[in-house]
A = this chain, B = another copy of it.
Amino acid sequence: MNSNIKISYPGSEKVYMQGSIYPDVRVGMRLVKQMPTVTVNGGERVETPNPSIYIYDTSGPYSDENVSIDLEKGLPRMRESWIKARAEKDADNIGQMYYAKKGIITPEMEYVAIRENMNCKDLGIESHITPEFVRKEVAEGRAVIPANVNHPESEPMIIGRNFLVKINTNIGNSATTSSIEEEVEKAVWSCKWGGDTIMDLSTGNNIHETREWILRNCPVPVGTVPMYQAMEKVKGKVEDLTWELYRDVLIEQCEQGVDYFTIHCGIRLKNVMYAADRLTGMVSRGGSIISKWCQIHQKESFLYEHFDDICDIVARYDVALSLGDGLRPGSIYDANDAAQFAELDTMGELVERAWAKNVQVFIEGPGHVPMHKIQENMERQIEKCHNAPFYTLGPLVTDIAPGYDHITSAIGAAQIGWLGTAMLCYVTPKEHLALPNKDDVRNGVIAFKLAAHAADLAKQHPGAMVRDNALSKARYEFRWKDQFNLSLDPEKALEYYKTANHVGGKYCTMCGPNFCAMKISQTLCEEK
């Protein structure tokens, strides 16, 4: 295995912004330097400088040439000293929500406040996001900072609708296809393109070891579905699942450093049968497993019954809960139906129970939803779940495009992100068809990064437009390299550009040299 994986971005420098409350808070960012704008004035060449642009950076130490990477040792444990200092003071209550409610701003909170405001300071853009604002959002449950005390390698990030829209990528071996080495490389690959969190959905052998490698080398929060490991333990026999066995899995994963758990605790015995009326039944793995358990034993699920116990466990590690939507619609036809909304009501009840124990919580959402039914999802989630963050899979706005579902879902994701969804779970082109390879992951991540960014623009997040404006100005001035360096995927942009015969440079190959609109337009302006 390549134990010296590094990430580099063209024209980009790794820089750190220091905290003012906590001087040891150092927020990693990318800084893209631009070429000057060149004009000719009275026969003289004039250079006007263009500002450097900060870019939100999920690549962690992998893009810092001063940090040497050793996968055997794992990443630097950035948060360790903060966590230790807290543990010395409060042995039992160590969570972000606990401190937030007490009025205390943690280093993690200052970290995310700096991270969310990248270009604001330099460009004089006003922002509502202060460390105190972050604290308040966490205290009131509107935002979550997933940060297991046993995952100090993770850089703090925040999930909430008053912040930048985040994206999650799923990785994981299923049965026989991929190896542990591949999974770690996939995790780093996701971070390279901008994945804000990673869910490790491995279901085969070596679940524990795969996760250990990922956690120790992952600069972003890691989520799991603990039920998958529980199912391995009972060798796929649903009926053999018990609370005790599941609890042990939770503790094991808390100890390892998983930052959030998807738990399908919103399925009630009385709601299971709603799915029978559907076109596509239940499409959530975790949801279908626990439903089957309920049906076999004819009793309420242990995830629901033991929800308070679950909260007690995860609170000790500050693991966040992601309430999984076992009854999410798997087709346009099933969207916004009774099954889906019954589960949402139960989730709303559980949110309040989690908060009572200072457990951070967010809510998973659909799925397949036509555009005219997206808004109802968002509004209902906010109402029923008391403003807890929403985390949706897509939604896919049509069922008819297998092979292109990264696009059908990016369309829904951009819209629901604009309406208030805090995190978008990516979908790759292979959704419904096969496991994604590296190229599929890249395509899925970029599709969702652009959807999330489109949502940030529509929400008018402070400074979100800075990057668009810089890139468009570079485009207009034929500063091709700046255009590529500022783009979500500089390598792809350059690769496509190179397929054309560029003569001279001052036009693009769509129009040819004589008809370039931007060139004519520039002449118009110069002649004015």
Contacts and interface: CB of A to CB of B under 8 A. Distances in A.
A114 interface: no
A473 B285 contact: no
A524 B411 contact: no
With a 10 A CB-CB cut-off, give which of A177, A283, A430, A521 has the most chain B CB atoms.
A521
Nearest to A235: B514
Interface size class of A (residues with CB under 8 A): 35 or more
A322 to B, nearest CB: 17
Interface in A487-528: 487-489, 492-493, 495-497, 499-501, 508-518, 520-525, 527-528
A346 interface: no
B518 A330 contact: yes
B486 A400 contact: yes
Contacts of A398: 450, 453-454, 457, 468
A12 interface: no
B401 A488 contact: yes
A495 to B, nearest CB: 8
A86 interface: no
Given A174-B509, A371-B414, A450-B404, A518 B289 contact: no
Interface stretch (A36-44, A128-136, A141-149, A274-282): A274-282
Contacts of A499: 430, 433-434, 437
A481 interface: no
A51 interface: no
A512 B177 CA distance: 10
B174 A510 contact: yes
Interface string A413-433: 011001000000000011111
Given A446-B404, A472-B280, A288 B520 contact: yes
Nearest to A476: B280
B404 A509 contact: no
B400 A435 contact: no
Nearest to A433: B496
Nearest to A326: B517
B512 A204 contact: yes
A231 B512 CA distance: 13
Given A430-B496, A454-B411, A508-B433, A520 B292 contact: yes
- In the complex, the count of this chain's copies comes to 2
A104 to B, nearest CB: 36
Contacts of A295: 524, 527
Interface string A443-470: 0001101110111011110000101110
B514 A236 contact: yes
A231 B515 contact: yes
A391 interface: no
Contacts of A513: 175
Contact of A450 (B276, B407, B449): B407
A483 B483 CA distance: 40
Contacts of A486: 400
A319 interface: no
B401 A521 contact: no
B518 A281 contact: yes
A362 interface: no
A435 B510 contact: yes
B400 A275 contact: no
A471 B399 contact: yes
Nearest to A333: B469
Contacts of A203: 511-512, 514-515
Given A371-B454, A454-B397, A489-B401, A284 B517 contact: yes
Smallest CB-CB A-B distances: 3 pairs = A434-B500, A331-B472, A281-B521
Given A333-B468, A400-B486, A404-B492, 20 more contacts: A176-B512, A272-B524, A276-B525, A280-B472, A284-B517, A285-B520, A288-B521, A295-B524, A295-B527, A333-B472, A368-B472, A370-B457, A372-B457, A402-B487, A403-B487, A404-B488, A431-B510, A433-B496, A434-B499, A435-B509
5 contacts: A273-B528, A284-B517, A333-B472, A411-B414, A433-B497
